[in-house]
Amino acid sequence: MNIILLGPPGAGKGTQAQHLVDDRNMIQLSTGDMLRAAKDSGTEMGKVVADVMARGDLVTDEIVIGLIREKLEGDKQGGFIFDGFPRTLAQADALGQLLDEMGESLDHVIELQVNDDVLVDRIVNRAKEAVAAGGTARADDNAESLKVRLMAYYKQTSPLIGYYYAKGQLQGVDGLGQIAEVRAEIAGVLG
């Protein structure tokens, strides 16, 4: 089973993806994690994306599609969870083509629905908790980048809601509940 977790920054995509990895042996494909890893290891591509990411803008479709293409060639286990990908219509089309070529289907697109005030609180708290735990906050977990990230979501990613709705694949889940409640609701959708 292959699924997309769709939703704005702070909606809980990464948290819920981790549960699906634990519960169903699925593979989490987070383009955000892949890009951060490239940045941290100082690859050429990592250098190119660092500023764009810190600002909160989207990196190019070409880069993220390339990252996903590579991962799809690996082990499938219980299927793929696309987390933070696709984020543009071009990425959604590319994903459809890649899955077709592999003879794979896209089984569910789950939209984690939250409201914007909650997102801002969650992200500000995520940054504070990281610092309190002795680590460093994500470079893009600050009020300035968050505005850009939210705008990128509404301008470039939210059209995917209509796109997958029209394909009959969209399922909404209330992302405002407790983590365990959201987890149970997603489990109900996936069956």
How far is it, in rounded angstroms, from Cα 140 to Cα 136? Answer: 11
Quick check: is 126 catalytic? yes
Residue nearest to ligand AMP (CB): 32
Q: Are 144 and 151 in contact (CB under 8 A)?
A: no
| Catalytic residue of the set 24, 138, 167, 183 | 138
Handedness of CA 93, 98, 103, 107 (dihedral sign): negative
Quick check: is 138 catalytic? yes
Q: For residues 157 and 170, which CB has a smaller minimum distance to ligand AMP in the complex?
A: 157
Q: What DSSP character marks residue 64?
A: H
Minimum CB distance to ligand AMP, residue 35 (Å): 5
Minimum CB distance to ligand AMP, residue 42 (Å): 17
- Helix crossing, 116-132 with 143-152: angle to 10°? 140
**Interface residues toward ligand AMP, by CB under 6 A:** 9, 31-32, 35, 52-53, 56-59, 64, 84-85, 87, 91, 140, 149
How far is it, in rounded angstroms, from Cα 86 to Cα 30? Answer: 10
Quick check: is 149 catalytic? yes
Quick check: is 39 catalytic? no
Residues with active-site annotation: 13, 87, 126, 138, 149
